[in-house]
Structure 1
């Protein structure tokens, strides 16, 4: 049985390009626990519920969701089994039922045997789950959060739906379009003649059909790339005093692309204010004239699927008078 292929083809709730990484997060968590602890890998729902809720809050979609959903539904993918005090089978998707009946879940016996026989399978399954659901900037962080050793960089093409090849020219095209400056803060550091700490960020993630095009990219420093992918920062459209989340299309006259900062972000130090909260409402730096700016459809996807909560009001610098 090809377990990597099975991981790549998890049946997930879908509606357009809506993010639903509930099952992948649970499977990654179960792999991490089994890798660390071995034994039979049994996870009691009432014990791991808080861990799973934290993972969904951190890496799931912006709206609140319950870990009971993947705990029940992952069974249908042939990699997970659930038992209660009444025997095999899940009692349903209700949190109360899972708690009250002492529901436990674990990887199916065949998968546990395969993982013991071939330890590299942990990393290969993790890689396909990460590539299909998260941007590269979050891969190591997700692995750490679920307790897995970092997934390896694999040269071969991965199975499943995401077989298309990345366009390796995108980084150069995006950095050139933004003249090697972070679109949020203007950082343009170099070591000799080589830029350092600058990355090409996908606005709409590649895992969710985001194209390797300049109009789906931003040149960002490493810090702002991570905060953008975590939903702390976003890109909106409007005047300096607007919320910056107006819809795209023909109505975008008389405005410009502006930085959004989530109201959920908290940072009291001078660095947090300068690098994050005071960016709210600022116009993007770049791209250079004649280059396609961020497309409204990609910007809207990021606001709906990644950005956390509502944006802060535009920052107004104190008067120097």
Structure 2
């Protein structure tokens, strides 16, 4: 059984690019807990808060209770649920999961495979990260679930991955003349730009193409905030700032809040700006809450 392929093919509610990372987040969390205690089970009432926090921070704006993936991940063959009544999930109701003492853990066959082949855990985690989240979030998401991954030994899984276009970064940075489209930062060390990145507007994991019409040149700070939904792109290519963002310092006001309503810097003449469908996807699937008034 190819467990990496199974992780890559989790059954999810899908429709025209909408994000549904609920099962991947639970599976990443479960892999982390297996790494810490290979025999332990996760009691729903004790992990509900952790799972809810992950869904709130790394899921789309439309909230879903953690009971949903806790129940439905069973159908993918990687997870099992037991209650005080015996094996099987009582359903997606939070009250039922709590009242019956429901616990979940990785399926017995998967636990055995992970013990036989320790590197399998890293390969499964990498494919979940690659398929559902942008690279800028991988490190902090591993920290959030408590997952320790090696830097090597987790090669690509060809059936689950598209090949990235390595020219993407250079094309986007050139189009925006090596400056952050939000703040104008253009730092270099000698002739080499530093702290500038090519951000996918529609995430590559959700069929976002490696082309300039799906890219923004952003500094490291604004790239992270863009991928976390603090910042977005509105009509007329003006910057959106989420009302959910709170920052009382002068730096937070200057570098984030003050961006609300500002026009994007670039791209240079002759280059098409971010395509409307990619911008709409980001607004609907990543941007958090409502935008602040300009």
TM-score, reference length from structure 2? 0.98
Q: What is the match of residue 130 of structure 1?
A: 129
The answer on 1:62 being equivalent to 2:61 is yes
Deviation at 1:121, TM superposition (A): 1.2
Are 1:127 and 1:151, in contact at CA under 8 Å, matched by a contact in 2? no
Q: What secondary structure is seen at the aligned counterpart in 2 of 1:58? A: helix
Q: What is the match of residue 257 of structure 1?
A: 237
Deviation at 1:152, TM superposition (A): 3.7
Provide the C-alpha distance between the structure 2 equivalents of 1:298 and 1:14, rounded to a whole number of angstroms: 17
Structure 1 residue runs of 4 or more that deviate by more than 3 Å after TM superposition: 150-157
Are 1:124 and 1:151, in contact at CA under 8 Å, matched by a contact in 2? no
Q: What is the match of residue 194 of structure 1?
A: 192
Are 2:126 and 2:154, in contact at CA under 8 Å, matched by a contact in 1? no
Q: 2:165 aligns with which of 155, 164, 167?
A: 167
Q: What secondary structure is seen at the aligned counterpart in 2 of 1:298? A: helix
Deviation at 1:154, TM superposition (A): 6.6
Are 1:178 and 1:288, in contact at CA under 8 Å, matched by a contact in 2? yes
Q: What secondary structure is seen at the aligned counterpart in 1 of 2:184? A: coil
Query: How is 1:206-285 mapped onto 2 (pairs within 5 angstroms)?
Result: 206-237=204-235, 256-285=236-265
Are 1:143 and 1:151, in contact at CA under 8 Å, matched by a contact in 2? no
Are 2:123 and 2:155, in contact at CA under 8 Å, matched by a contact in 1? no
Query: How is 1:44-63 mapped onto 2 (pairs within 5 angstroms)?
Result: 44-63=43-62
Query: How is 1:52-201 mapped onto 2 (pairs within 5 angstroms)?
Result: 52-150=51-149, 152=151, 156-160=155-159, 162-201=160-199
Q: Of Structure 1 and Structure 2, which has the larger fraction of its residues in helix?
A: 2
Q: Could you report, residue by residue, the CA deviation over 1:120-177 in whole angstroms, capped at 9, with x for unpaired residues? A: 11111000000010000000111111110136467844254x4321101000000000
Are 2:81 and 2:104, in contact at CA under 8 Å, matched by a contact in 1? yes
Q: 1:295/1:153 Cα in 2 relative to 1: closer, same or farther (>3 Å)?
A: farther
Provide the C-alpha distance between the structure 2 equivalents of 1:207 and 1:153, rounded to a whole number of angstroms: 21
Q: What is the match of residue 271 of structure 2?
A: 291
5+ residue gaps, structure 2, are none
Are 1:4 and 1:159, in contact at CA under 8 Å, matched by a contact in 2? no
Are 1:280 and 1:313, in contact at CA under 8 Å, matched by a contact in 2? yes
5+ residue gaps, structure 1, are 238-255, 315-321
Q: What is the match of residue 304 of structure 1?
A: 284
Max radius of gyration: which structure? Answer: 1
Q: 1:151/1:9 Cα in 2 relative to 1: closer, same or farther (>3 Å)?
A: farther
TM-score, reference length from structure 1? 0.89
How large is the Cα RMSD of the aligned pairs?
1.2
